C-alpha cells in the first residue's frame, strides 16, 4: 500500500504495528477499489469502525454469526461525513 501511495508514511510498514483506525480503513477501501476486478464488495461495518468480527464460523449456539445487526441505521451511516467522503473517493478510484 505504501508503494502505490494508498497510505501515508505515518502508517507503519510492519503490519503488527498498524492500528485499525477510520483513516486506515478508508485507505484500505480505496486501495482495493483501485484494483482491476469487475466486482468489488466491502462491509459497511469497516466504514463505521465496528471492531467485532462479523463472520466467525460456528453455530447459532456458539456465536450468532449470521444474526449480527449494524450498530447504526443505514440512513445515519450514509449521512456521516467520513462515509460520504470515502464512498465518493471509492467511486472515483473505481472509475480510474
pLDDT tens digits for range 13-43: 998 999 888 889 999 999 999 998 888 899 8
Please give the Cα distance from 92 to 31 (Å, whole number): 11
Indicate the domain borders of the chain: 15-95
Grid cell, residue 28, equals 484500505
pTM of the entire predicted model: 0.77
Rounded to the nearest 5 percent, the helix, strand and coil shares of the chain are 40, 0, 60
CB 54 within 8 A of CB 45: yes
Amino acid at each position: 500500500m505504501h508503494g502505490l501511495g494508498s497510505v501515508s508514511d505515518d502508517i507503519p510498514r510492519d503490519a503488527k504495528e498498524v492500528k485499525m483506525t477510520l483513516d486506515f480503513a478508508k485507505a484500505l477501501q480505496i486501495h482495493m477499489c483501485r484494483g482491476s476486478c469487475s466486482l468489488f464488495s466491502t462491509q459497511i461495518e469497516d466504514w463505521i469502525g465496528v471492531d467485532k468480527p462479523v463472520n466467525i464460523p460456528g453455530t447459532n449456539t456458539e456465536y450468532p454469526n449470521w444474526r449480527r445487526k449494524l450498530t447504526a441505521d443505514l440512513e445515519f451511516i450514509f449521512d456521516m461525513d467520513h462515509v460520504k467522503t470515502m464512498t465518493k473517493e471509492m467511486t472515483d478510484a473505481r472509475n480510474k
